[in-house]
Copies of this chain bind each other. A is one copy, B any other.
Amino acid sequence: MLDCKREFHDSEEGVRTAMPENDTTAPGADATPGSSATPGAGAATPAVTREALAQAALRVLEREGLAGLSMRKVAAEVGVKAASLYWHVRNKQELLDLLNDAIMGSAEPPPREGGWREQFHAYCWRYRRLLLDNRDAAKVVAGRLAPGPNLLGLMEDQLDRLRAAGLSDADAAMASYLLGAFVQGFVLQEQSPISAAEVLGGSRREIAVAAGDLFRALPAEDFPNLVDLADDLTAPDMDARFEFCVQRILDGLAALLPPDRR
């Protein structure tokens, strides 16, 4: 009776994250967590829903970054004290799961035109763009697989195209996984600061130059290739680098198809 509240906030557990459950990003006063369905609902103005929490977390993330995203700040963002969040959310990790899918919410699949190669290409770029545009999105997404309604929708669409391209079921599933893993890894690397050069809080280009100097300053007898390739290794054009990688993966996938379908 004491902690009956922690028991369950809504009807089912496993299905909730899976069900699309019409998520209107609209600030409508409806759609309290899941309890709206349960008869005998009490409160008049919920004021804070799981949707609202996710959006608030998104704003805090944009403003303060992942390291600065605390329960107290998210609570303040929705006009509430920290402890109250635990009514709607089991712990911070669950809030991050909501945030996770909220980030995916702003993604939209590329137009369904052109060959599979163009479409897969566009998918990679859009996903990267999504991760780059939302602050610390890569860190939030990485290390947590939160199959919320938004992510599920994207996967569904993606798989549909891969199968239409002629990939087998297993290959389509693998390819989808490959895309996700690679893009996440790439953006994570791309955004990761270089330890040696962090002292100078310079721009991306400046620290690339600094990294180049670092490589060039190595003893040439021990690291001939690093010294030699310093420029190539620290080329600051990340778009070109990404494009290269994507093309490699596309070529690799193309090799799975019969020659007439590439």
Q: Select which of B174, B188, B235 is within 8 A of A245 by beta carbon.
A: B174
A 113-151 contacts with B by CB, 8 A: 139, 142-147
User: B188, A155: Cβ atoms under 8 Å?
Assistant: no
Say yes or no for A191: interface residue by CB 8 A criterion. yes
Copies, count: 2
Q: State the A residues within 8 Å of B (CB).
A: 13-15, 17-18, 20, 93-94, 97, 100, 139, 142-147, 152, 155-156, 159-160, 163, 169-178, 180-186, 188-189, 191-199, 210-211, 214, 217-219, 222-226, 228-229, 232-233, 235, 241, 244-245, 247-253, 255-256
Closest Cβ neighbor of A171 among chain B residues: B244
Q: Which of B14, B159, B191, B218 meets A229, CB within 8 Å?
A: B159
Of all chain B residues, the one with the shortest Cβ separation from A159 is B225
Interface residues of A, dominant DSSP: helix
Most buried by B among A196, A199, A217, A241: A196
B147 touches A194 (CB 8 A): yes
For the complex formed, measure the closest distance between the CB of A131 and the CB atoms of chain B, giving whole angstroms.
11
When distances are taken between beta carbons in the complex, the residues of chain B under 8 Å from A233 are 155, 173, 176-177
Contact assessment for B249 and A248 in the assembled complex, using a CB-CB cutoff below 8 Å: yes
Given contacts A17-B196, A97-B195, A181-B182, contact A229 B173 (CB under 8 A): yes
Query: Given A142-B192, A194-B145, A160–B247 Cβ distance below 8 Å?
Result: no
Contact of A226 with B195 in the complex, beta carbons under 8 Å: no
CB distance from A243 to the nearest CB of B (A): 10
A245 near B172 with CB under 8 A, answer no
Select A185's contact among B156, B183, B192, B251, beta carbons within 8 Å: B183
CB within 8 Å for A147 and B195 given contacts A159-B229, A170-B232: yes
Q: A174-B245, A195-B145, A244-B174 are in contact. Are A225 and B156 (CB under 8 A)?
A: yes
